[in-house]
Amino acid sequence: MSLMHKFLGAAATLALTAGVAAADPAIIFDLGGKFDKSFNEAAFNGAQRWAAETGGTFKELEMQSEAQREQALRRLAEAGANPVVMTGFAFADVLSKVAPDFPDTKFAIVDVDWLDLPNVQQVSFAEHEGSYLVGMMAAMASKSGTVGFIGGMDVPLISKFACGYVQGVKAANPDAKVIQNMTGTTPAAWNDPVKGAELAKAQKSQGADVIYAAAGGTGIGVLQAAADEGILSIGVDSNQNHLHPGQVLTSMLKRVDNAVYDAFKAGTDLETGTIRVMNLASEGVGYALDDNNAALVTDEMKAAVDAAAEKIKSGEIQVHDFTTDSTCPVQ
């Protein structure tokens, strides 16, 4: 082989390596958008943290309609983004179609644990564990003995939040009553703050004085109505305590930001063909305590919840996961 051939071979290898190294990660947000102050925004914060720490850049897409899912995913994969991260179980079907067409691209999807694809990392959260903790807090803070739950789309994942919450409520007060409503049966249920506010007011009229919202952008309406009506609310996914200081009891943190940050940090070395479970023990879920809600959380409440958290981590308390059998042991 001539010296020139050797040089060209080395140059080609170098160019290829540089191309791989330069692949930007990408994120597609679910309906509701990246500034929903909840689920999508948590994901966006994780991407932003990675960019700030590394100086790297990432591609992002916000969909306007359900019909854009597959097109958005294909566009990012075709553009060479790697890995591509999706927020939400609603991407599962299109990912099943798209991932096999891009075997060299790595994908990560949040809130899915049932796919079997070699180039996909699935990330699921123990939302029932975090919801149990805020349920205990709701029961301890309630003066009426009636608390509420408002979910977004009526799907098993949101029933998982609800069931964990009810278990925590009953653990702290076996006589407590829990009023439950879902916002709707289509993806529009994630972004309907007006409906969220209506449901919150209806629950207050039935005696609820603490309401937990697990409804994406719809929850913003729940928190606003609760504040207007002089009752407490509980935020979800992101820390929402600051939205109405002194009126949000706590927020159930779902560390979607960590899932996105970790996937971006791993880059093309992302471990795929796996399910990553983010639970209390791995700090995947928890509750928020800061200056905005410190006056609402008593020492007794914090001690009880922290003790329960340790028992959940050790396995002494087993919080039932609704998605395992589509049932909840308490109502």
Three-state SS string over 149-181 comes to EEEEECCHHHHHHHHHHHHHHHHHCCCCEEEEE
Average pLDDT over residues 233-255: 97
pLDDT of residue 21: 46
Q: 3 pLDDT exceeds 50?
A: no
Token digits of residue 100: 């096999």
Which amino acid appears at position 80 of this protein?
G
Check residue 4 and give its pLDDT: 44
Q: Give yes or no for residue 16 having a pLDDT over 60.
A: no
| pLDDT higher than 90, residue 13 | no
Q: Among 6-15, 185-194, 312-321, which is the least confidently predicted range?
A: 6-15
Picking from 19-23, 24-28, 90-94, 318-322, which range would have the lowest pLDDT averaged per residue? Answer: 19-23
pLDDT reading at 113 higher than 90:
yes
pLDDT, mean of residues 222-248: 97
Kindly report the pTM of this predicted structure: 0.87
What is the pLDDT averaged over residues 144-153? 98
Average pLDDT over residues 26-33: 90
What pLDDT was estimated at residue 43?
Answer: 96
245-264 pLDDT tens trace: 999 999 999 999 999 999 99
pLDDT at 80: 96
Q: Residue 14's pLDDT is what?
A: 40
pLDDT at 44: 97
pLDDT at residue 6 above 60? no
Contact 216/241 with Cβ under 8 angstroms? Answer: no
Q: What is the pLDDT of residue 65?
A: 87
| pLDDT mean across residues, the chain | 93
Per-residue pLDDT, 331: 85
Band (pLDDT 50/70/90 cuts) for residue 269 is very high
Q: What is the pLDDT of residue 22?
A: 57
- What tens digit of pLDDT does each residue of 156-207 get? 999 999 999 999 999 999 999 999 999 999 999 999 999 999 999 999 999 9
Closest CA to 251 of 193, 290, 203: 290
Sorted by sequence, the CB contacts under 8 Å of residue 138 that are 6+ apart come out as 147, 165, 168, 169, 210, 212, 232, 234, 249
Q: What are the E-state strand segments in 70-186?
A: 84-87, 107-110, 120-125, 146-153, 177-184
Q: DSSP assignment, residue 24?
A: P
- In the predicted model, what is the mean pLDDT of residues 9-34? 65
What are the structure tokens assigned to 261, written together?
């940050």
Kindly report which listed range (4-8, 53-57, 163-167) carries the lowest average pLDDT score.
Answer: 4-8
* Nearest CA among 185, 148, 186 for reference residue 169: 148
Residues of the chain with pLDDT > 70, as a percent, come to 93
> Residue range 274-299: average pLDDT?
96
Q: Cα–Cα distance between 30 and 63 in angstroms, integer?
A: 7
Query: Residue 136 pLDDT > 50, yes or no?
Result: yes
Residue 312: pLDDT over 80: yes
3-state secondary structure of 268: helix
Evaluate if residue 239 carries a pLDDT over 70.
Answer: yes
> CA-CA distance, 111 to 208, in Å (whole number)?
29
Q: Which of 327, 235, 248 is nearest to 292 (CA)?
A: 248
d(CA 80, CA 86): 16
The predicted structure's pLDDT at residue 258: 95
DSSP 95: H
How far the first Cα of the chain sits from its last, in Å, is 76
How far apart are the C-alpha atoms of 251 and 242, rounded to whole Å? 10
